[in-house]
Amino acid sequence: MSAIKAKHQRLILVLVAVIALIGAGLLAAWALRNQASYFYLPTDMAASPPAADRGVRLGGMVEKGSITTDADGVTIHFIVSDAKARIPVTFKGIVPDLFKEGSGVVAEGKLGSNGTFVADNLLAKHDEKYVPREMKDMTEAQARAAVKETK
């Protein structure tokens, strides 16, 4: 195998690196459009439901008195709501410690065709230092909404 034409070696190497990196960047941009999971409030989800096979996050309050457990002891159903909409959620698993009725939750999963959100992970407030990013803002916004309503 002959050595590459001496003069152009550096140029070729630079081109290879640049093309690979740009390629990686373009691929990343394309994949992110398809794979990033968007955050929905119940109102948003009711107004414009995401496609059935798309992973999204749903954040809201766990409605009081809505948690029920199936006979298997590990599947739960509850309703996530905000001021305007209510979305039923199903989750199979061990719930986070601070998951309870009347407090905030972010559910990761997919919206089923029957309108029930099937969560494969629940994020609840852990302590003051560990709040899911979306929920921090959400509770603030809800506090404002609550203030408005009581006025």
Out of 15, 65, 84, 93, the residue judged to bind other proteins by CB under 8 A: 93
How many residues bind other proteins (CB under 8 A)? The answer is 47
- Which amino acid would we find at residue 20? A
Tell me the C-alpha distance between 135 and 57, whole Å.
11
Hey, which residues does 86 pair with through a beta bridge?
81
Q: Determine the 3-state secondary structure of 134 from DSSP.
A: helix
Closer residue to other proteins in complex, CB, 64/97: 97
Tell me the C-alpha distance between 132 and 44, whole Å.
19
Tell me the C-alpha distance between 63 and 84, whole Å.
12
Of residues 9-68, those binding other proteins (CB under 8 A): 9-10, 13, 16-17, 20-21, 23-25, 27-29, 31-32, 35-39, 55, 57
Mark the segment that binds other proteins (CB under 8 A) among 77-85, 87-95, 110-118, 139-147: 87-95
Closer residue to other proteins in complex, CB, 23/102: 23
Q: What are the residues whose beta carbons fall under 8 Å from the beta carbon of 92, sequence distance 6 or more?
A: 74, 75, 76
Q: Shortest gap between Cβ of 120 and other proteins (angstroms)?
A: 11
Q: Is residue 103 a contact point for other proteins (CB under 8 A)?
A: no
